[in-house]
Chains A and B, each alone.
Chain A
Amino acid sequence: MVGVLNKSMKRMLAAAGVAVLMTGTGWATDLSGAGATFPYPIYAKWAEAYKAQSGIGLNYQSIGSGGGIKQIKAKTVDFGASDMPLKPEELRVAGLTQFPMVMGGVVPVVNLKGIKPGEINLTGTVLAEIYLGKITKWNDPAITRLNPGVALPDQAIAVVHRSDGSGTTFIFTNYLSKVSPEWGKVGASTAVDWPVGLGGKGNEGVAALVGQTDGAIGYVEYAYTVQNKLIFTRLTNSAGTPVAPESKSFIAAAANADWAHASDFYLLLTDQPGADSWPITGATFILLHKVQDKPESANAVLKFFEWDYKNGAKLAQSLDYIPMPDSVSSLVMAKWHDIKDATGKPVW
C-alpha cells in the first residue's frame, strides 16, 4: 500500500515537473535526475530541505534503475541513480562515473508462531539453501543447530521473494551468490530465475504474503521492516558473529568495506568483514557524465550532493536509511575532481 501511495505521489510529482517546464520559470536552475525507486523518499526529502536553503529544486523521476541508466546515457537528465553499481568497464564505455550516496540493508523476515523479532539466527548458506528449495522444513537440523533452545516447528517453509525487478533483490541475491557456490548458478540481478517460491510485488507485497502464510520467509528493505515491526531474523556474518539488523551494523559494514581500493566505487557491501557488520547491506549509486557539456549545472548537482553528505545524515536516519560514513564521503568528494568540462577543466 505504501507503493500505491508512492505511485500516486510520483505521478503528482511528474505532473508538477511538467507544470514547471511549461511555465518556464525556474527550470533552468532546477536539477534533474532519474532512476532508482529505493532512494526516492530520501532524495525527495533532501531536495526539499536543500531548496529551502538554496532555492534550487530537484526534479527526480523514480522510474527504476534501468530507466535511470538509460536516461543518463541519453543525457536527458543531470544525474542518474541506480541500486546496482555499473562495472568499471561499462562506465568507461558510457563515459560515466559513479559514487555511493546512501545505504540500506536487506533483512530476512519470517512468520513463525511464537517467534519474536531477532529470536532465530540463520547463516548465509542456510538462507541460500532455503531459497534453493534444499531446506524445506523449519526443523531441519541445519536450522535447529543454529538455534539451540528455540522450538522450531515441523512445518514446511514457504519461500517468498520480490516479483518486481528491484535493487533489494540484487543485493539479496548478490549476498547469496557470495556465500553459496550453488547459488552461483542462479546468479545475482534485479530479477532472477527463482528455483522456488512465491513472488510479491514490492516490499509491501512480500510482507503481506509472509504475514498471511504460516512458516513463510521473505526479505524486505530494512526501513520497511522497522516501520512495520516485522519479525526479522539475525544473520551470522563473515566473522562468524550473529548480528541483528540495526543502523550500527549497517554502518559497520560500510566502514569496514575497502572503498579506497575499489575502482569507480564498484563495491558491493554484502558479506563484508568485521564482527559487527550486517552481511546484506547495500549502497545506492549516483551516475554522472565524466565530461560535462554544462559545467555550471554539473557543479550545482555536486553542490547538492555535498550538502547531502554533510547535512543529510539526520534526515536519512529519520527515514531509516543509513548515511555514508564520513570516511567514505570524503573519498567520494575527492574523486569529483576527475569530472571535467569539455576543455578539461575540473567542474568541482
Chain B
Amino acid sequence: MGAMSVSGPMDAAEAAKNTFPDRLFHAITWFFAMLVLVLLAGVAATLVQGSWPALAEYGLKFFISSAWNPVTDRYGALVPVYGTLATAAIAMLIGVPLSFGVAFFLTELCPNRLKRPIGLAIELLAAIPSIIYGMWGLFVLAPFLQRTVQPFLIHSFGGVPVLGEMFAGPPVGIGILTAGVILGVMILPYVAAVMRDVFETIPPSLRESAYGLGATQWEVVWYVVLPRSSVGVVGGIMLGLGRALGETMAVTFVIGNAHHISGSLLAPGTTIASALANEFTEAVGDLYTSALMALGLVLFAITFTVLAGAKRMLIRLHQSQGS
C-alpha cells in the first residue's frame, strides 16, 4: 500500500514531464507543417493579386496571344508557354532514356568497383549550379552544336516534310534545341539517381529466379525490375520534369531569348522562367510588371498541374500494385 501511494504521484509527475515536451514537439511540428500550406497559399495569392491588372486588361486573350511588346503594352503568354513546354519535352526525350541507361548499367551490369565512382559522379552532376551549366552551354555546347550537330540536322532532314521544318534555318548554336539538350543533361542526375535507388530495392531473389528461368538481362529489367519499380521511376521522371519546366539561368543563357514562335527547333525562343529572369528587374510600368507576374502564375499552374498529375498517377499505380 505504502509503496503504491508513493509511486502513484511520482508516475503522474513523470507522465506530466513527458507529455509537456511531447505536446510542445507536437505543436511545433504542426506549426511547421501548417507553415508550408500558408506559404503555398500566400505565393498563389500574391501571384494572382500581382497579375490581376494584366488579366483584367487582356482577359483570356492573354493566354493565346503571341504578342510581347513592352513599348505598346501588349502582352501574351503563348510564346513563353510554348518555349517552356518545347524545351521540357526535348529535355525529357534526351534525359529519360539516358537516365534509364545509366541506372540500368549501375544496378545490373556495372562491376562493383566502378559502382561507387560512377554513382558519385552522377550525384556530383546534380551539385553543379545551374549558372555553370548556362555558361558551359553558351561557351562550349552552343558553338559545338553550331559547328557539328546543327549543320548535320539541317543537311539530313532538309526537304523531308515535318522534320525538315523542325530543323530548318541557319545554325546559330543557341535556341530551343540547345536549351532542351542542356536541360536533358541537368535532369539526368535526378532521374538517374531515383531510378537506380528504386531498381536496387527489387529483391535479388526475384532477379535470380528470372535469370534461373533463362531470361536475358534485358528481359529481367523489362519484365521483372521495371514493373516492380514503376512507381519510383515515374516519380523520378516527374521530379526531372518539374526541374526542366522551372529551370531559369541555364536556359536564359542558351535559348536565344526571342519572343517568336518558329516551327524550327533550331530557332531562338523564350521560356516563362527565362523571360522573368530577363525582364523583371527593368520592367517599368504597372501593366508590364503585372504581365510578368501573370507569366509566373502560368508557370506555377503548369508545374502544379504536372506534379498533381504525377501524384495521382503514383496513387493509381500504388493501388493497382497493391491489389
User: Quick check: which of B12-20, B109-117, B168-176 contacts chain A, the rest being far away?
Assistant: B168-176
Q: Are A65 and B259 in contact (CB under 8 A)?
A: no
Please pick, from A165, A191, A198, the residue contacting B268 in the complex, using a CB distance under 8 A.
Answer: A198
Of the listed stretches A200-208, A224-232, A338-346, chain B binds A200-208
- Chain B positions within 8 Å of A198 at CB level: 172, 174, 256-258, 268
Complex interface bits, A189-220 against B, C-beta within 8 A gives 1, otherwise 0: 11111100111110001001100110000000
- The answer to whether A190 touches B282 (Cβ under 8 A) is yes
In the complex, identify which listed stretch (B31-39, B83-91, B92-100, B131-139) lies at the interface while the others stay far away.
Answer: B131-139
**CA of A189 to CA of B69, assembled, Å:** 10
Give residues 61-86 of B contacting A (CB, 8 Å): 67-72
User: Nearest-CB distance from A164 to chain B (Å)?
Assistant: 4
Q: Check B51 for interface membership: any CB of A closer than 8 A.
A: no
Size category of the binding interface on chain A: 35 or more
Are B173 and A165 touching (Cβ within 8 A)?
no
Contact of B283 with A165 in the complex, beta carbons under 8 Å: yes
Contact A201 B257 (CB under 8 A): yes
Q: Any chain B CB within 8 A of the CB of A166?
A: yes
With a cutoff of 8 Å between Cβ atoms, the chain B residues found around residue A163 in the complex are 252, 256-257, 270, 274, 278
Q: Give B261-283 interface residues, CB cut-off 8 Å to A.
A: 268, 270, 274, 277-283
Bound form: Cα–Cα A187–B71 in Å: 6
For residue A74, CB closer than 8 A to chain B, the reply is: no
Residues of A within 8 A of B278 (CB): 163-165, 191, 199, 201
Instruction: List B contacts of A201 (CB < 8 A).
Output: 252-253, 257, 277-278
**Cβ-closest chain A residue relative to B284:** A66
B230 at the interface (CB under 8 A from A): no
Complex alpha-carbon distance, A299 and B150, angstroms: 60
CB distance from B298 to the nearest CB of A (A): 19
Whether B252 and A191, one on each chain, are in contact in the complex, defined by CB atoms closer than 8 angstroms, is no
- The residue among B131, B277, B282 with the most chain A CB atoms within 10 A of its own CB is B282
Task: Tell me how far the C-beta of A68 lies from the nearest C-beta in chain B, rounded to whole angstroms.
Answer: 10
From A37, A192, A200, contact of B281 by CB (8 A): A37
Answer whether residue A118 sits at the interface, using C-beta atoms and an 8 A cutoff.
no
B72 touches A187 (CB 8 A): yes
Residues in B neighbouring A189, C-beta threshold 8 A: 70-71, 284
- Chain A residues, Cβ within 8 Å of B170: 156, 158
Contacts of A187 in B (CB 8 A): 69, 71-72
A233 to B195, CA, bound (A): 54
Residue A69 at the B interface, CB < 8 A?
Answer: yes
Interface residues of B in 216-235 (CB under 8 A from A): none
- Least distance between B147 CB and chain A CB atoms (Å): 10
Cβ–Cβ contact A212 & B142, under 8 A = yes
In the complex the two chains form, what is the Cα distance from A192 to B68 in whole Å? 8
- Contact of A14 with B by CB under 8 A: no
Chain B interface residue number, banded: 35 or more
The verdict on A103 contacting chain B, using a C-beta distance below 8 Å, is: no
Tell me if B303 counts as interface (CB < 8 A to partner A).
no
Residue in B71, B253, B258, B270 whose beta carbon sits within 8 Å of that of A205 in the complex: B253
**Knowing A4-B131, A186-B71, A194-B258 touch, does A165 contact B281 (C-beta < 8 A)?**
yes
A37 to B280, alpha carbons, bound, how many Å? 13
- What is the chain B residue whose CB lies nearest that of A69? B284
In the complex, which of the residues B173, B268, B289 contacts A199, with contact meaning CB atoms closer than 8 Å? B268
Q: Is the CB of B146 within 8 A of A66?
A: no
A117 lies within 8 A of chain B by Cβ: no
A67 at the interface (CB under 8 A from B): yes
Candidates A69, A193, A208; contact of B138 at CB < 8 Å = A208
Cα–Cα, bound, A65→B278 (Å): 13
The distance from the CB of A228 to the nearest CB of chain B, in whole angstroms, is 14
User: Could you say which residues of chain B place their CB within 8 Å of the CB of A193?
Assistant: 67-72, 259
| Chain B nearest Cβ from A121, distance in angstroms | 26
B53 within 8 A of A: no
How far is A205 from B131 in the complex, measured between Cα atoms in Å? Answer: 13
Enumerate chain B residues within 8 angstroms of A37, measured Cβ to Cβ. 281
* 19 residue pairs bridging A and B, Cβ less than 8 Å apart: A65-B284, A66-B283, A69-B284, A84-B284, A156-B170, A163-B257, A163-B270, A163-B274, A163-B278, A164-B282, A165-B278, A165-B284, A189-B284, A193-B72, A194-B258, A194-B259, A201-B278, A209-B174, A212-B142
Residues on B lying within 8 angstroms of A by beta carbon are 67-72, 131, 135, 138-139, 142-143, 146, 170, 172-174, 252-253, 256-259, 268, 270, 274, 277-285, 288-289
Query: A residues engaging B (CB < 8 A)?
Result: 1, 4, 37, 63-67, 69, 84, 156, 158, 163-167, 186-194, 197-201, 205, 208-209, 212-213
Given contacts A66-B285, A187-B72, 17 further A-B contacts (CB under 8 A): A4-B135, A64-B282, A66-B281, A158-B172, A163-B256, A164-B278, A191-B70, A191-B279, A193-B68, A193-B69, A198-B268, A199-B278, A201-B252, A201-B277, A205-B253, A208-B139, A213-B172
